[in-house]
Amino acid sequence: MSLDTAIAVVGVGCRFPGADTPEQFWDNLDRGVLGMRELSDDELRAAGIGPDQSASPDYVRRIAPLAGPGLFAADFFGYPPAEAELIDPQQRLLLETCWEALEHAGHPPRAEDDTPRIGVFAGLSASGYAFALQLARARGAVTGLADLSLQLGGTVDFGAPRVAHKLGLRGPSIAVQTACSSSLTAVHYAVLSLLAGECDIALAGGAGLVEPAAGYQYVPGGILSTDGYCRSFDARSSGTTPGSGVGVVALRRLADALADRDPVLAVVRGSAVGNDGAQRPGFTAPTPSGPADVVSASLHTADIDAELLGYVEAHGSGTSLGDHVELRGLADGIRAFTKRAGFCALGSVKVNIGHTGAAAGVAGLIKAVHVVSTGYVPPHPLFERPRDPGLLADSPFTLSAEGRQISGHVLVNSMGLGGTNAAVVLSAGPAPGQSTAAAPEVVRLQVSARTRAELDKASARLADALESGMRPIDVAHTLRVGRTDFPERRVVTAPPEQLTKALRLPRPGPVRTRRTEERRAVVVTEHREHPLCQQLLAVLGPDVEVLSSIPAVPHDDVFTLVLGSADIGTRPNTTVVALDEAALDEALATAWLHGVRIDRQRPVGDARRIALPTYPFTRRRFWALDDLTPEPPPTHAPVTADGVEGQLLELWRDLFGRPEIGLDDEFGALGGTSLMSVQLALKVQQQHGVLVNLHRVGGSRATVRRIAAALSESGPGPATDGDGPLLDADLTADLGPQSATNAGTDFLLTGATGYVGAFLLHELLRRTEHRVYCLVRAVDEAEALARLRDAAARFRLPAPDPDRVVAVPGDLRDVGRVCHDFRDGELSRRVGHIVNSAARVVFTEPYRVLRTDNVLPLVGLLRWARAAGVGEFSQVSSIAATGPSVGDRGRLTEARSQPLDPHSGGYGASKWAAERLLERAELDGLRVRVFRPGLISGDRETGACNTRDMLFRLLAAGLAVGAHPLDDRLVPLAPVDVVARAVIGLATQPGSASRAYNLVDTIAPTLPVLFGLLAEAGHPTRPLPVTEWFGLVAERALATGDPVLSSIALYDLDRLDTGSASDSVDCEQWQAWLRADNSSARVDADQLARSLAYLSDQPEFAGLTPVTATDTGGS
């Protein structure tokens, strides 16, 4: 950044809950004031909410509204009442705050050609007010509303143009619509416009109002909180809070602002915008890479040392997904410049005022301006403990409920619902130079307004400002150059210490007040070349008339200034000006009082523009909805179970607008989004009295039939499916108390004798120097160690080092007692990191069977770990634990929170439940990483593979019969040695906590592709339809009695529980590790050939060697 590219924030205008000025807003933030309040019954009734709805236990009536949203200074802006009522309150308040921002900057809009060109960039939220008017007209509750009037008054396109029209702004007038990030995106484009020379001053901001003000029905899985509070980044946060607000900043090129001695509140060092595009798992679902890229770009543009960031004002939506993704994105964006942790404060203004829609970004910016100008980060109210403690601990950030002093730069981040992210980097403005001039003996203040009442209010506000410590000479200068001249005028002349009293009691003598009309100036002088005369003529402008004698007849539209000395008696509209500076200043004030336009842009001495109180608008209520009679909400008669499917089908058809939808059409395939899922859940609850979480009935794979079945099973209350009640009970299992983190550094590994576990043990010994305790089902330590050696030998791995490996005998189902009792509590003292890879991998058993091995032992392990103070936990999960999130259209994401896929079966459900339990433990400080392999191929060097794995049995069966099934579903794969190295490498890598890693290759093969690789290795097969292929395998199994072929003949490919039915699997998180490790997850022909060779050495595959398979070609 240089002086040529830096942009100054010179003014602010705003309306936020509990604050009508930036100074009030900043004071509220410093005091930790919350702007949320409960709406009264009368307010809800006026918004059309009936008593039955508002009395529902799920109805939340707490939001963060504005005071007087219907008030508007219509007379000031020249709107008749009928027109004002049809203008969206967002547009009206935007107009007022734009005026205030310009006045705050000391640059009011002017009509003269030589004044700065002003642009306006603004975003608006969708107008609830306009929608209510449209609805009222459609129902016949209001008449006489013209289409064009409703469109101009209620469409987001016309907010910025309305401001330009009413304020006479001739620069760009641009509507910026990127949802929640609109106003910060507007700031970015305002900066670019200033740098391009399109304008000299730019207004940037937005407005978002919840009007008519109403509460909301809480829906689990939605974006709104359970209680109307927004607890950004806190473990207790359940969503965001609807808030109302309007914010605008006035921007100038820094060089121009310094030249004009403007108030530089902050400096924009750099900004960036971007969208994460197709990387998003759904249209409304964010990804960390989106904000990370934009944050990184803004820091690059700002050209600052990232370690000098003192504070980040985050979007902070308060939703579990949004906060998690943003925290990761912010951390990743800053980590592009520094790996340092814990040096930067973090917060979000949404905790104070809720989510203000299109104004959310500029609300954060206005807070950030205050932070960077004062060096004080306000409190983060309601914060108790972080949602993602591990992620936060590894990040650059710290969170605190208390305010604190900081130094350095400030970054503001804003995330739009459609994926457009914006970031702005601020620095403190240059400090004004210290004044060396003596204070003047007398100061003249020029105050004007439209009415006498408004003039008195303006005078009182100025008195308050002077009492706060402002320099009178700066106040006088700003009033002269930074305010519009109105008919009611007042000149206050007094010593500095008496100005406040004179303003509060405007009596004759020190105070002159009059209502005036515009007059032109005439100067009478015989001293035209005198320097003071030239100065006088310069400020009176080019239209001043100069005469050598006083006109005989005075004219009412003329004010005469006689330079020198003269006897004018009682001549009206005339003053005599002595040839000295003090007399000239007094004469100009008198001429201004009588209606002469004075152009005094040059400051006197070291006077400078300052932020003064803005115009005291007289505002009246204009609300076209006042006379409407709200209709009661529709009621629905209860329906019997027999009618549930038909009722739901009608609901779906209405929601999607597609009459052809059937019982088994999937939500995601129909184009369902996360927002539609919330609408659907709310409507189902209204109709059936049952709250359905779409994730529990399949996410994007939810169908009418599945939801109907869930409703039929559940009765009133949460809907369940299959083993749902048992699963729900497991999800709420008692995890025991959490102890302080211990000092242990050793590892506890479960599942070490299994296929993946043996490789994990090998990598732990290779990559770390710590002791590894291995829980092994055995009678004693000797037997347990022998089992570990057997597993290593079986998979062609080195024998475990007995000096570093401690075999812990015991049953995983009794893991808590085993860990507690082993060697008199040795594990509790020494273990600091658990790697849990134990699982029963069976795709044919229901959840009720698999929970005893895959869920309940984890509960016991977590109870022991929490009691022992173990701080780190790495879970080897599975792609089967994921499901396509709503709107993802079959895509499996790396989000920690996942929907339960109805196709996953018992195994997938058990892994899904385990991940949810870990999320609960994480809230208390456990640092968790989740690793999700897909199907696992053999070791790349030795070919060692899992002989029980259905994939290799299927490949061997295909070779045995010389044919392969034509199944085009994806088979997400990765080699076992790469998976194990990644798990241990990432588990011990800073910054990995609170993340999930899908450990598969970027390109998932199909079964025909894998058989094609075998063909490359010299083992060709012919394609067959799936049914025929299974028939061929069954014939061979019956003929030979081969157990491998028999297991495949009885198998159903649909049970291959790996997420393979999905279109794609996100696996971006481990790509950087793969590059650094110089590894690849791709499976090639040579690797498969080595695995077949390995299988040929195993007794159960003796009759299915590649040679045998080739020999039996077409049989």
- What mean pLDDT is reported for the chain? 88
Last residue of a domain, one of 407, 427, 447: 427
Which stretch of 120-124, 308-312, 521-525, 720-724 has the lowest confidence by average pLDDT? 720-724
Which residue did the predictor score with more confidence, 44 or 720? 44
Average pLDDT in the 728-751 region? 92
Q: What are phi and psi of 425, to 5 degrees?
A: -110, 125
- Residue 897 inside a domain? The answer is yes
Asked if 1070 and 999 count as a contact pair (C-beta separation under 8 A), the reply is yes
Average pLDDT in the 733-761 region? 94
Q: Do 117 and 198 sit in the same domain of this protein? A: yes
Residue 803: exposure state from Cβ atoms within 10 A (0-12, 13-18, ≥19): exposed
Share of the chain above pLDDT 90, in %: 62
Of the candidates 446, 453, 457, the one whose C-alpha atom is nearest the C-alpha of residue 489 is 446
C-alpha 1049/C-alpha 1070 separation (Å) is 36
Asked if 1094 and 942 count as a contact pair (C-beta separation under 8 A), the reply is yes
Asked if 417 and 290 count as a contact pair (C-beta separation under 8 A), the reply is no
Report the CATH number that the domain containing residue 447 is assigned in CATH: 3.30.70.3290
Of the candidates 308, 300, 413, the one whose C-alpha atom is nearest the C-alpha of residue 1 is 300
Averaging pLDDT over each range in 99-113, 353-367, 605-619, 1043-1057, which range is the top one? Answer: 353-367
User: Total domain count for the chain?
Assistant: 6
Sorted by sequence, the CB contacts under 8 Å of residue 1041 that are 6+ apart come out as none
Q: Do 687 and 753 sit in the same domain of this protein? A: no
Residue 657: exposure state from Cβ atoms within 10 A (0-12, 13-18, ≥19): exposed
Of the candidates 620, 631, 628, 629, the one whose C-alpha atom is nearest the C-alpha of residue 145 is 628
C-alpha 588/C-alpha 684 separation (Å) is 73
Angle of the 950-961 helix axis to the 1085-1096 helix axis, nearest 10: 90
C-alpha 248/C-alpha 582 separation (Å) is 39
Tokens of 689: 């009295």
- Residue 980 inside a domain? The answer is no
Which stretch of 96-100, 276-280, 512-516, 528-532 has the lowest confidence by average pLDDT? 276-280
User: What are the tens digits of pLDDT across the range 403-414?
Assistant: 999 999 999 999
Sorted by sequence, the CB contacts under 8 Å of residue 855 that are 6+ apart come out as 730, 910, 913, 914, 917
- Residue 464 inside a domain? The answer is yes
Residue where the block lists tokens 């890229």:
293
- Residue 986 inside a domain? The answer is no
What is the DSSP secondary-structure string of 493-562? EE-GGGHHHHHHS--TTTEEEEE---BEEEEE-S-TTSHHHHHHHHHH-TT-EEESS--SS--TTEEEEE
Asked if 279 and 440 count as a contact pair (C-beta separation under 8 A), the reply is no
Tokens of 612: 């003064």
Report the CATH number that the domain containing residue 369 is assigned in CATH: 3.40.47.10
pLDDT value of residue 924: 84
User: What are the tens digits of pLDDT across the range 601-654?
Assistant: 666 778 999 999 999 999 999 998 886 654 544 444 333 335 788 888 888 888
Q: Do 310 and 420 sit in the same domain of this protein? A: yes
Q: Do 461 and 511 sit in the same domain of this protein? A: yes
- Residue 983 inside a domain? The answer is no
Residue 663: exposure state from Cβ atoms within 10 A (0-12, 13-18, ≥19): middle
Residue 522 has pLDDT above 50, yes or no: yes
Q: Do 957 and 917 sit in the same domain of this protein? A: no
User: What are the tens digits of pLDDT across the range 482-496?
Assistant: 999 999 999 999 999
Sorted by sequence, the CB contacts under 8 Å of residue 402 that are 6+ apart come out as 379
Residue 554, CA distances (Å) to 518, 521, 540, 558, 711 in order: 15, 12, 19, 7, 90
Q: Do 508 and 403 sit in the same domain of this protein? A: no
Last residue of a domain, one of 694, 721, 748: 721
Q: Do 659 and 747 sit in the same domain of this protein? A: no
Last residue of a domain, one of 699, 721, 743: 721
* CA 1036 remoteness from chain centre: 58
Average pLDDT in the 693-712 region? 73
How many Cβ atoms are within 10 Å of 511's Cβ, its own excluded? 18
At 147, which helix (H) or strand (E)? helix 147-154
Q: Do 844 and 954 sit in the same domain of this protein? A: no
pLDDT value of residue 568: 82
**pTM score, two decimals?**
0.79
Share of the chain above pLDDT 70, in %: 90
pLDDT value of residue 310: 97
At 833, which helix (H) or strand (E)? strand 831-836
- 158-171 burial, b if ≥16 CB within 10 A, otherwise e? bbbbbbbebbebbb
SS3 313: strand
pLDDT value of residue 1114: 36
Residue 1056 has pLDDT above 60, yes or no: no
Report the CATH number that the domain containing residue 681 is assigned in CATH: 1.10.1200.10
Residue 898 has pLDDT above 70, yes or no: yes
Of the candidates 728, 1042, 764, 749, the one whose C-alpha atom is nearest the C-alpha of residue 916 is 728
* CA 1018 remoteness from chain centre: 53
Q: Do 927 and 955 sit in the same domain of this protein? A: no
C-alpha 996/C-alpha 1068 separation (Å) is 10
pLDDT value of residue 142: 63
Q: What are phi and psi of 856, to 5 degrees?
A: -60, -40
Q: Which domain holds residue 284?
A: 10-231+239-427
pLDDT value of residue 683: 75
- Residue 1069 inside a domain? The answer is yes
Report the CATH number that the domain containing residue 1062 is assigned in CATH: 3.40.50.720
- Residue 916 inside a domain? The answer is yes
Average pLDDT in the 24-40 region? 97
* Amino acid occupying residue 751: G
* CA 59 remoteness from chain centre: 25
Asked if 255 and 10 count as a contact pair (C-beta separation under 8 A), the reply is no
C-alpha 894/C-alpha 1071 separation (Å) is 13
C-alpha 290/C-alpha 293 separation (Å) is 6
Q: Do 692 and 777 sit in the same domain of this protein? A: no
Residue 729, CA distances (Å) to 725, 861, 900, 913, 943 in order: 6, 18, 15, 10, 42
Residue 714 has pLDDT above 80, yes or no: no
SS3 407: coil
- Residue 727 inside a domain? The answer is no
Residue 129 has pLDDT above 90, yes or no: no
Q: Do 410 and 487 sit in the same domain of this protein? A: no
Residue where the block lists tokens 């403005």:
429
Of the candidates 266, 271, 249, the one whose C-alpha atom is nearest the C-alpha of residue 107 is 249
C-alpha 893/C-alpha 699 separation (Å) is 13
At 443, which helix (H) or strand (E)? strand 443-449
pLDDT value of residue 676: 67
C-alpha 884/C-alpha 1062 separation (Å) is 7
Tokens of 811: 């049953």
Residue where the block lists tokens 């007849």:
553
Sorted by sequence, the CB contacts under 8 Å of residue 129 that are 6+ apart come out as 88, 89, 90, 154, 209, 211, 212, 625
Beta pairing, strands 344-347 & 309-313: parallel
End-to-end distance of the chain based on CA atoms, in angstroms? Answer: 75
Q: Do 570 and 654 sit in the same domain of this protein? A: no
Residue 680 has pLDDT above 70, yes or no: yes
Residues in the chain, how many?
A: 1115
CA atoms within 13 A on the CB side of 670: 27
C-alpha 206/C-alpha 190 separation (Å) is 13
Sorted by sequence, the CB contacts under 8 Å of residue 486 that are 6+ apart come out as 448, 449, 450
At 216, which helix (H) or strand (E)? strand 216-217
Residue 953 has pLDDT above 60, yes or no: yes
Which residue did the predictor score with more confidence, 721 or 953? 953
Residue 117 has pLDDT above 50, yes or no: yes
Tokens of 88: 């969206």
Asked if 260 and 299 count as a contact pair (C-beta separation under 8 A), the reply is no
3-state secondary structure 934-964: CEEECCCCCCCCCCCCHHHHHHHHHHHHCEE
